[in-house]
Amino acid sequence: MRDGIGLGLAVGVSGVAFGAAAVSSGLTTWQACALSVLAFTGASQFALAGVIASGGSLLAGTAGAILLGSRNALYGLRLADILRPRGPRRLLAAVGVIDETTAVALAQPDLQAARKGFAATFGCLYLTWNLSTLAGALGAGRVGSPQAFGLDVVGPAAFLALIWPRLRTGRTERAVALAGAAIALGTTALLPVGVPVILAATAALAGAMTGAAGTQVAESPAGRLPDGLLPDGRLPDGRGQSPGRSRGRG
C-alpha cells in the first residue's frame, strides 16, 4: 500500500504538465479535466493533446489515443483473476487498470496485498492526477512549457523504479523488457503514435503465455509419474516393468 500511495503521488503531479499542454493545444479547461476524469490514461491523453497541438483533427487524435490506451486491455486480462471485481465494481476497476496500478498489483506477494496495492495506487493517483490537471489547465499561461520542469519524465522514471527489482532477479522479465524496448525503438520512427507501444506489449503477452504454458505442464497430471516409479516405469528396487513391455506366464 505504501508503494501505491508513493507512486500515485509521484506520477499524479505530472497531471500539471498534461493540463497545461492540453489548454495550450487548444482544449478548454473543462475538456482537459473531462479527459482526466473519464479517460484516466496519461499517455493517451498526452497523445491526443499532441495531435491537436500539431494541427491534427480531433478524430485523428482520438483514434491515436484509443490505440495507445488499448494496451490496458492486456493488463485487464492479467489482473482479472487477481481482482475478481463483481457488479458495478467491474466498471470502476476497469477505469483503474493502467500501467502503475498493474505494476504495483503484480509486485505484491499475495492476492490480498495485490488488491490493496491496486486500490491504493488507483485512489491516490486518480485524485492527484485530476487535481493536478485542473491546476495545470488553470495556470497554463503561467507555467509555459511543461517539459521545462521535467514533469513529463516523472511517470516513466517512477514506473522503472518500481519494476527494477524484478528486472534484476527474473530472467524472463529481463528478456521481455529487452524485447519490448527493441520493438518500440525499432518501430517508433516508422509507425504512427501508439502503434509501437502496442507492438511492444506483445512481448509481455508472449512472456505471460510462455510462463502460463510452463506452469500448466508442470501441474498437469500427465506430466507427473506415479509415486515411487522411475522414468522407465520400474520401481526403485528393480521390480516392475517398463511401459511397452509385457511379460506373460506360460
| pLDDT tens digits, 7-51 | 777 777 878 888 888 888 888 899 999 999 998 988 788 878 877
**Residue 76 · residue 118 · CB < 8 Å:** no
Q: 50 with 64: CB under 8 angstroms?
A: no
Identify the pLDDT of residue 223.
Answer: 44
Q: Which cell is 75 given? A: 493488463
Q: What is the mean pLDDT of residues 69-81?
A: 86
Q: Closest Cα partner for 3 from 109, 150, 134?
A: 109
Count CB-CB contacts under 10 A for residue 199.
16
Q: How far apart are CA 121 and CA 9, in angstroms?
A: 9
Alpha helices in the chain (DSSP H): 2-12, 15-24, 29-38, 42-53, 58-69, 71-83, 89-96, 99-106, 111-138, 140-143, 154-169, 171-187, 195-219
Angstrom distance (rounded) from CA 10 to CA 128: 9
Helices (H), 144-194: 154-169, 171-187
Report the share of the chain in percent with pLDDT over 90: 14
Mean pLDDT value across residues 153-177 = 67
Residue 161 pLDDT: 62
Give me the amino acid identity at 107.
A
| Torsion angle (degrees, nearest 10) of CA 23, 25, 31, 34 | -90
Q: Give the three cell numbers for residue 89.
A: 465494481
- Provide mean pLDDT across the span 151-172: 63
Residue 146, helix vs strand vs coil? helix
- Which tops the pLDDT comparison, 143 or 81? 81
pLDDT of residue 126: 94
pLDDT at position 211 is 54
User: What is the rounded CA–CA span in Å between residue 209 and residue 164?
Assistant: 22
Mean pLDDT of 235-243: 48
Spatial distance between the Cα atoms of 131 and 134, rounded to a whole number of angstroms? 5
